Structure 1
Amino acid sequence: MSIHTPGTHENLVLAQNVNGRLRAEARMIFARAFMQRAIGAGIFVALAGVGIGAASYGWAYMNQFDSAAEKIAAAMQTALSDVTLKTKGEVTLTDNTLKLEGLPAQRESSVPTPTKAQLGADSAPNSKAPVNTTFTVFKQVPYLDGQIVTGWNFKPSEEKPYQQYCYFSRRTNEAKGQVEIKIDVAMDGKILPQPQKSDVNLAILGTNCVWHDGKSL
């Protein structure tokens, strides 16, 4: 081991080598710092670009829907401006009842009512004798192989029948043709006397009679 004296050739060479190495390391440190700063700046610029792009996309997206809504509204306004609505009719208020004029008349009841022609009010015999007109309303209830028929006899000027009768009726085919069997059941709401030689129970048949007031007279 030798110690060089100051100013010798060896000391100068050593000092130059040390100095060169320090400069090289300083340049490497500077280069690394510059690279890190460049990377940071690049990342910042990239994030800023992404943010600006997202903001631009959002603005364009919202502006697109606004334009579409405006176009739809304009189209609807144009279509409605070319349409003409017309109404026709009359609404009147009579006796607190709202009625629409021009509608077909509603039938008040589906129950048939004899007409003047059906009653034949103007019909008369050749003898010119007075004629009393009455009419009969029939109520029919199916029963077994026949039906229970109740007749209500009315006078034109009265609301209640002046006479009621009930009978059982059925038709059978015989050798001579079709035959109708009729059994009288009741009169004016009262069951007729039970025949002694008969298998028919008039009281049971009478439960199917339809009386005008809903009960026996």
Structure 2
Amino acid sequence: MNYVASGTPENIALAQQVNGRLRADSSYVAARAFLLRALGLGAFLGLTGAGIGAAAYGWATMNQFDTAADKIAKAMQAALSDVTLKTKGEVTLTDNTLKLEGLPKAAGAPTPTKAQLGEQASPASKAQVNTTFTVFKQVPYLDGQIVTGWNFKDNSEQPYQQYCYFSRRSNETKGQVEIKIDLAMDGKTLPQPVKSDVNLEILARNCVWHEKG
């Protein structure tokens, strides 16, 4: 058996190889540790930048919405300042409702004009003339219509008489014929005829009576 003594060329070569391997391993470990530290630092910086960017974006978005809301409020204020509302009542502005209060109410029934009433018209006998007018309310029913008449005296808001009837026109050989069936008077249905297939009570439900009549 041969033994290699210290200081021999073989021993020196072996020591050099071992030292070289150790240095290579040490460099590899140092490089890997540096890479891991660099990756960790990069991830930390990246997450920090993302957080700062998200915070900045949120702040900018909120600031933008506030600015838009201010612009809309100013535009509405300017528009309302240029608008003139004319009314005899009171104008009340709430958060989201515009109310007009105290406006005059419409009359219960239409009033004819003086020309329609013909106030200057008179008979040849020069007798006293009493003027009245009638307002008709018509409701389509089957092949005809149900008509309600409101009779008014001059300058009166309440009718002194109301009546309702069913009317239908038909074409006959001798010409056009109108069929008229009286239904009710002053809000009350007329008595049902004995020999009649027409139910006055059902038809009278379509009469339009004056609200205060």
Q: TM-score by structure 1 length?
A: 0.58
**Are 2:22 and 1:33 aligned?**
yes
Distance in 2 (alpha carbons) for counterparts of 1:192 and 1:65:
82
Listed as ranges, the gaps of 5+ residues in structure 2 are 68-73, 94-102
Shift of 1:178: 0.6
8 Å Cα contact 1:165/1:188 also seen in 2: yes
Distance in 1 (alpha carbons) for counterparts of 2:150 and 2:42:
96
RMSD: 4.9
Question: Structure 1 residue aligned with 2:122, among 114, 125, 129?
Answer: 125
8 Å Cα contact 2:109/2:157 also seen in 1: no
Aligned sequence identity (%): 44
From the superposition, tell whether residues 199 and 33 of structure 1 become closer, same or farther in structure 2 (CA, over 3 Å): closer
> What SS does the corresponding residue of 1:27 show, helix, strand or coil?
helix
**Are 2:83 and 1:89 aligned?**
yes
Q: After superposition, where does 1:1-217 map in structure 2 within 5 Å?
A: 18-19=5-6, 20=8, 21-50=10-39, 87=79, 88-90=82-84, 97-98=91-92, 113-117=110-114, 119-125=116-122, 127=124, 128-192=126-190, 195=193, 198-212=196-210
8 Å Cα contact 2:153/2:159 also seen in 1: yes
> What SS does the corresponding residue of 2:32 show, helix, strand or coil?
helix
Match of 2:26, as an amino acid? R
From the superposition, tell whether residues 151 and 173 of structure 1 become closer, same or farther in structure 2 (CA, over 3 Å): same
From the superposition, tell whether residues 165 and 35 of structure 1 become closer, same or farther in structure 2 (CA, over 3 Å): closer
Distance in 1 (alpha carbons) for counterparts of 2:198 and 2:36:
109
Q: TM-score by structure 2 length?
A: 0.58
Listed as ranges, the gaps of 5+ residues in structure 1 are 1-13, 78-83, 100-105
